[in-house]
A and B are shown apart, each in its own frame.
Chain A
Amino acid sequence: MSDLPVMAPMPSVETAEYWDATTEGRLLLKRCDACGHVIWYPRGICPDCHSTQTSWFEAKGTGEIYSYTINNKGDGPWKAAAPYVLAYVELDEGPRVLTNIVDCDQAALAIGQRVTAVWDDTGEGHALLRFRPL
């Protein structure tokens, strides 16, 4: 567990499988059955080819930092968490996902740095995908 705020998601029928897998620390992504593109964020239509035939698969949970910022001024529950790291991580499967980098020396972070998934339990049956440096 990181010490960042952990807010409970609101799974929908469209995303329930993603959230159920987080409980077991597994990252599920969707792939389009028609064009093969990995879809992010998970949804029931492929934004590339507009097929509605999509399938879940398990991702490795590793990637590299695409961009990041150390935020000194959070809002609401994030105010007390500052300074915290907001980042886009490019997963090895392709998608760039918005996330936090935790368990890190903030001053030593760099674009291109390798990271791996960590899961923060929401206490309500799901977990949030965050990353730490490898």
Chain B
Amino acid sequence: MSIRGKAFIAGAYEHPLRNIPDRSTPQVHAEVALGAVTDAGLTLDDVDAYFCAADAPGFGALSMADYLGLKNLSYLDSTEMGGSSYVAHVGHAAAAIAAGKCSVALITLAGRPRNERFMGGGARFASAPEAGFEALYGANVVSSYALAARRHMYEFGTTSEQLAEIKVAASLHAQHNPDAFLPKAVTIEEVVESRLISDPLHLLDCCVITDGGGAVIVVSPEVAKSLPRRSVKVLGHGEATKNPDNGRIDLTYTGAVWSGPRAFEEAGVSHADIDYASIYDSFTITVLQQIEDLGFCAKGEGGRFVSDGALVAPHGRLPFNTDGGGLCNNHPTNRGGMTKVIEAVRQLRGEAQPAVQVPDAQIALVHGTGGSLGTRMGSATLILGQEDS
């Protein structure tokens, strides 16, 4: 069974704030949930399926369903794949809708890392089977991605200037987004001359740290037809995990090598059909590896691919992250998958910022990586199309 055309994204909402000192995390979940159902032309009483990940406080979906007053749930999913969770959730929601388990699915993400220490992972990670062999060596998020960047440079000659091209493209987009955390365009020189956090990654190779969140509504074709807004068709979904593989870790590729082909096959589209791509950008190296692994260029060619404005909207070969992405706009609670889905919905509705709207964007790809390029990751790919695609 395929999910192609069996579900539609009918509502999407990104919280406009990037620093939220005056609300609780559950309140931010509520604000984005209400924003998304309102965007769809629905209410929370219409929701019969709820999806969340580890950013949802307490008992995850159970606590949030109680807090939000979701009274009609017949389907719950707390799949946790780090920042890629919300990309995967759209695929899971489409599958559940296609199987007749539900017809209006709400997916939420919210958190406040600028104001509140994230309480989700500590005890669970301390008891992970790998903890005694990894957690004792001072590996943090940036340094584990830096290991991947160094090895990619060693094997393929990738340069810091090429990685900087990715940040520059994101910043050119962010300058048109009034909500962007970093709305100023930057140059290659500014990126490579910013301070080294964990070499070879500089400060400007890293995503922003923001409070906020977002939500989307996935509905059945029947519900989509009944709603006033243009919706977005779910065409394909792929998922995978990549890990150290019993001591053979290869830091030069991601799980996109598996999730990407699965999504393309289900959607029945090719790379040439992709008008816009939301590509997970926790760091510049994340984007570079995923572009290769998704098949937009050969392995090792990513540096050259991004070097001639390929990523710059609206006319680059592969316009990406037109909201400014996690590198410049928003990376709410250190999880970028939700905002990737939301910007793809804007593009396919023709509602992106006019300066970066891809003309008549018909087909979009969304890809997320959660966890770490340096150890283990969850990868999720979506192919979305215009409502009548």
Contacts and interface: CB of A to CB of B under 8 A. Distances in A.
A130 B297 CA distance: 38
Interface in A1-39: 4-5, 7, 9-11, 14-15, 19, 37-39
B147 A87 contact: yes
A130 B151 CA distance: 20
B139 interface: yes
A73 to B, nearest CB: 5
A100 B136 CA distance: 10
A16 to B, nearest CB: 11
B269 interface: no
B140 interface: yes
A57 interface: no
Contacts of B136: 7, 9, 128
A130 B154 CA distance: 23
A97 to B, nearest CB: 7
A99 B151 contact: no
Interface string B340-372: 000000000000000000000000000000000
Using C-beta atoms within 8 Å of the partner chain, give the interface range for chain B.
35 or more
B131 A71 contact: no
Contact of A71 (B130, B142, B151, B247): B142
B198 A43 contact: no
A103 interface: no
B366 to A, nearest CB: 29
Contacts, number: 118
Given A71-B198, A72-B195, A87-B147, A11 B132 contact: yes
A57 to B, nearest CB: 14
B137 A39 contact: no
Given A71-B143, A71-B146, A86 B197 contact: no
B132 A69 contact: no
B251 interface: yes
A96 B249 contact: yes
Contacts of B246: 37, 39-40, 46-48, 95
A111 interface: yes
B140 A78 contact: yes
Interface string B100-115: 0000000000000000
B138 interface: yes
A48 B245 CA distance: 8
A128 B135 CA distance: 11
Contact of A75 (B126, B129, B140, B251): B140
Given A7-B136, A11-B132, A97 B247 contact: yes
Contacts of A40: 133, 244, 246-247
B148 interface: yes
A108 B148 CA distance: 19
A43 B133 CA distance: 11
A97 B138 contact: no
Nearest to A9: B132
Nearest to A41: B133
A88 B251 contact: yes
Contacts of A81: 138
B248 interface: yes
A11 B245 CA distance: 22
Nearest to B148: A67
A68 B198 contact: no
A42 B134 CA distance: 12
B140 A71 contact: yes
A69 B251 CA distance: 13
Interface string A63-83: 000111111111100100100
B13 to A, nearest CB: 32
Given A67-B148, A69-B147, A70-B198, A86 B139 contact: yes
Contacts of B197: 71-73
Given A48-B246, A88-B251, A43 B142 contact: no
B29 interface: no
Q: Which 8 A-B pairs have the closest CB atoms?
A: A95-B247, A40-B247, A69-B146, A78-B138, A41-B133, A67-B151, A71-B143, A9-B132
Interface of B: 126-127, 129-140, 142-144, 146-151, 154, 195-201, 244-249, 251, 375
Given A4-B138, A72-B196, A78-B140, 13 more contacts: A39-B246, A40-B247, A43-B129, A68-B147, A69-B147, A69-B200, A71-B146, A72-B197, A84-B138, A86-B143, A86-B144, A100-B137, A111-B150
